[in-house]
Structure 1
Amino acid sequence: MYRKFGKRTFDIFLAVTGLIILFPLFIFLTVLLWFHFSGRPFFLQARPGKNEKVFRLIKFRSMREASPRKLHITFIGHLLRKSSLDELPQLWNVLRGDMSLVGPRPLLTEYLTLYNTEQRKRHSVSPGITGLAQVNGRNAISWEDKFAFDLWYVQNQSFKLDFEILLLTVKRVFQCRGIVSPGEVGFEKFKGSGL
């Protein structure tokens, strides 16, 4: 029952509540980043969602071009990532139905051809702003571990599990675990498991 109806209701309720409470912060960051990134406060990128349907994920921008082929995380961008505030606009993705609050993180579309049969099952549910992999290491764990956490979540999702993951997410944000360092674009790209 929760998977079919309750989860979506839970998502909408918390997303609306979060946007109302955080609206002043949302406006402040939008204006700040508008000036910091020359009128481009948001970063949009195609990501695969449930059943591999592609949608446009929205985040606060944190990087600028250091050269034609290299991106650099700015100081403000690093603070946003460290606090996870760069993820705040994804509450709109949740309201649109592209994402859930909790689920496997939506990865790059270029990875779709690299998944094996088991890994592809992560797309049988809506992707999340946070997930089991994020509260168990985020960028600090291997791709194999991330997929293992994702697949375990797919098989065991429940209201209790989602609530626990949300509470752990708040804790991890304050601990600032698994965040990339200043100047880094991100973690190593997935190149396929070969399985």
Structure 2
Amino acid sequence: MTFSPRTEPPVVTGAITDAQTGAPLAGVQVDLVDASNLGIHTRTAADGTYRLEGLPPGRYTISAHGEAIGDGYDWALEKIAVEPGLNVINFGLTLAPLVVATVEYIGSGVPPTPGDYMVSVRVDGNTRGITFNGQETFEFRGLKSGQARIGVGFAALSYKLAAVLVDDQDITGQVFELRAGDRLTGVRILITDDLSGAVRTEGQFQRRD
């Protein structure tokens, strides 16, 4: 009688940590999908570990998404060949850029009402927008690194952008490099109902690393 060697089913496991501190990251979504985007998903435990099983051997893409964790982490992915038995894949995630903008109305007429404008951050052609609903502060978490621009779109034609300031530098209309780990929490956006003159565009964003 001939016995075939037993093949262990594939298991993909590992740990997700903060790339800078090494601290484990709990609650990170981990996806393992094939070329048809079909697969399995899980989240990391309190110690940052995860375990995925139930798929046959083959080529997959594994990704870790930490955008919703804390101040937001960048996501990472890797194409892997899953073999029978244990497959260990670890990720160290970097903090995603964070932009916090405060809008100030500097006009002399009627202040904007909810729905009158939307604050946006555009990074490498991808735009994230938040509509004004009465709040003064707009938080953009989980952004990607890249070439960025902060702007405002108006539904009410009675307002316009006066200036975008970062650490009192005028970056209105300017494109700047947004890096992993950046914390731009001092952004001030000035809007006005004075429609005369042109929007200021002078000045380049000078990083203060």
TM tier relative to shorter chain: under 0.3
| Larger Rg over CA atoms | 2
Comparing both chains, which one has the higher relative contact order based on Cα–Cα distances under 8 Å and sequence gaps of 6 or more?
A: 1
More strand by share: 2
Provide TM-score, normalisation by structure 2: 0.24
Provide TM-score, normalisation by structure 1: 0.25
